[in-house]
Structure formats: C-alpha cells, structure tokens
Amino acid sequence: MNLQIILTAALMEPLSVAIHVCRQAEVAAHENIVIFGAGPVGLLCAAVSKAWGAKQVINVDIQKPRLEFAEKFASTGTYLPEKPGKDEPVIEYARNVGEKIKKQFDLGEGAHCVIDATGAEVCTLTGLFVCNKGGTFVQAGEISTRKRYLTIRNGERCIECLSYCSHLFS
C-alpha cells in the first residue's frame, strides 16, 4: 500500500470523530464552545467548531504546551486550571474551575456547548458546571473500557447515551 494513502487515512479518522462529536453537540454559528482536552480529538473539535462559525472556541487542558498550540491552531482562548487543593473534594474543585472559566471568558450562565474530549471524571464534572442551562454537553472521551458518547441536552439535562461503533471496541 502507498504510505501517503495510509497516512491520509490515519488523519481522517480523528477528523471524522470530531465532526461526529460536533454534530452531536449541535455546534452552530455565534455560539460559545468549551472543549476539555487539547489532544488530537479536542483540537479537531475546536477546528470544526471554528469552521462552523462558533463565536468563542475555548480549549481547557492541564498541559501548557498543548494549549499554546491550540491557540495557534483553532482556539480563540485557552484555560489552564490550577491543581486541586490537597483535601478539596472533586465536586467542589470542578464547581470552582467551572465558575472561573465562565468568568474569564464572559460566558454568563455558561457555554452553549461543552465537549469533553478527555474522559477524565474531573473534566466531565467541570464541563457540566460550565454548560449553560439548556446547553449541550457531549462526552467524547473514553468512559471505562468502551468508547461511548454521552450527550446531555435541555434544561432538565436529560441524558442520551449512545454507543459509537461499540462493536469495534468490544
């Protein structure tokens, strides 16, 4: 096989995941999008959101070099959270970081759309605190041992969990 074809295919898979996630998130023009994770999927979700006309595309990550790249690549803003306090409960840490993100980026009651491309519990919790009531939250990271996508929509935050190609990961 031609190496160029293999490399092209290898790059298309993360892009197709990002497009799927952004469709699940119902990303639209003039909306504020917060993306947890500045790895390949998170960065591509930022690029897709920007291409679809999002007003603000904010990446959150714990690695400063990833955030520096995200700003050059597609993000309009980045956030590097401080480490949690020694005895600080995860839920309180998530609430505090969520409030800081909303304040720093002037998100008011929260972002229209939040995407978690990490699968880390603290990011999921923080994302729920960043999400505006009536907004959309999409969990695109790996949850437990199978890849799943979790979508939460509307003011009641009803949960719709669907398996994405679960047969490929069993």
Looking at residue 60, its pLDDT comes to: 98
Looking at residue 139, its pLDDT comes to: 87
If phi > 0 it is left, if psi is from -120 to 50 it is alpha, else beta; for residue 160 that is: beta
Topology classification of domain 3-169: Rossmann fold (3.40.50)
87-112 per-residue burial string, b: 16 or more CB within 10 A, e: under 16: eeeeeebbebbbeebbeebebeebbb
What is the pLDDT of the chain when averaged over all its residues? 84
| Residue 158 confidence class, pLDDT cut points 50, 70, 90 | very low
pTM for this structure? 0.83
**Residue 84 CB burial class (10 angstroms; 0-12, 13-18, ≥19):** middle
Average pLDDT over residues 155-160: 42
Domain boundaries, the chain: 3-169
Write the CB contacts of 167 (distance below 8 Å, at least 6 apart in sequence): none
| Residue 6 confidence class, pLDDT cut points 50, 70, 90 | confident
